[in-house]
Amino acid sequence: MFVTVVYVSVKPEHVDAFKEACRLNHENSIQEPGNMRFDILQSTEDPSKFALYEAYKTQQDAVAHKETAHYLTWRETVASWMAEPRQGVAYQGLFPKANA
């Protein structure tokens, strides 16, 4: 399993719009064949901080996600709302095991 955790800081005035854009991206992403999880997390301590947990069966599935229309729309829509560039950290998912 290939996992990316994306850390995002959003300008406070764009938090609600960011959440809506993420909802739309989430709803489409979980329909992708290689997707296992696509969670949108908001900090309880700082509502302008988010983590996106993206788990795919393979790295190729994660790469394919970045070519989808819904991802490209999300990326373009939220770019100017970020307080700083988003940071993605890649992980190898150990458990649960991905079903082939």
Q: What is the pTM of this model?
A: 0.93
The count of structural domains within the chain is 1
Q: Is residue 14 a part of any domain in this protein?
A: yes
Nearest-5° Cα angle at 48, 94 to 24:
65
Q: Is residue 16 a part of any domain in this protein?
A: yes
Is the confidence at residue 91, as pLDDT, over 60?
yes
Q: What CATH number does the domain containing 84 carry?
A: 3.30.70.100
> 96 falls in which pLDDT band (50, 70, 90)?
confident
- Residue 11 domain boundaries: 2-88
Q: Is residue 100 a part of any domain in this protein?
A: no
At 13-25, the pLDDT tens digits run: 999 999 999 999 9
Is the confidence at residue 38, as pLDDT, over 60?
yes
Q: What is each CA distance from 5 to 13, 89, 91, in whole angstroms?
A: 24, 5, 8
Q: Is residue 39 a part of any domain in this protein?
A: yes
pLDDT mean over 47-64: 97
Q: What is the pLDDT of residue 18?
A: 98
